[in-house]
Structure 1
Amino acid sequence: MGEFKVHRVRFFDYMPSAITAMAFSSSTERLAVCRADGALEVFNFSDNYFQEKVIPGQDGRAVEALCWVGQRLFSAALNGEITEYDLENLRPRYTVEAYGGPLWTISGNSQGTLLAVGCEDGTVKMFEILEERIQFQRNLNRQK
């Protein structure tokens, strides 16, 4: 009887979680993707498009929007919190309550000094971006 090689293969059903938010940074050429299970993935487009980082999700955290400010990544969640992520240690760095109910959108200014979040109550909250944290600056009232 002749020699033969055996190759063993196991298949599994991979069911990716739905994407709830995305943000692209043109300066670093990175795409941040948040999934329905709360997991955050960072893809690098500068070198052959690969998945660079994965931050596991947390129960009860439904991220609705993502925003890059320079090298920093922020998220707005339906639980009313703004989170900055530590992309070196792959975990949330800190969380700040916005006090406006669920947050639906987030955006930074072009200078990288301010962060604005749109709240369920119709207000826009402005936060100053500091070296290590963000700090509430002012509240913009609802408009008709």
Structure 2
Amino acid sequence: MYKSIFIATDASKNALRAVKEVIHLNCTDIHVTLVYVKDARATRDSILHDEESISHKEKVLNALQESIDFLEDNDIRYEVKLLHGEVHEVLIEKMNNGNYDVAIIGRTGKSILKDLMIGSVSKKMIKAANIPVLVVN
């Protein structure tokens, strides 16, 4: 059924649940691409030095380690892409142009009503998707 799976991650617990959802798809010989996007707005007013950039990359990889461990423990092939830009724009571009069969995203609303809403990035991805999108609660 699904062979190539796109997972948008922010290294949160919701994103980890999205990674773990792969097991419930009951697919064999799959390849997962974990995509993390550093928000361009966070660095727009400052220039990152190489050391800061490397430090951020290490922090992200450490935060993603639980997801990576899960994939490795379940013999799931994967790759990690650490990107930079407007989060929703980069995720949508990569999701729609990456030859994926399905996207899995965590629901991460950041408003007061976060338990009732899907996050704005998730909503934008769902609206723009050319592939099925599974939203994990």
Please give the TM-score of this superposition, normalised by the length of structure 1. Answer: 0.26
Please give the TM-score of this superposition, normalised by the length of structure 2. Answer: 0.27
Bigger share in helix = 2
Is the radius of gyration larger for structure 1 or structure 2?
A: 1
Bigger share in strand = 1
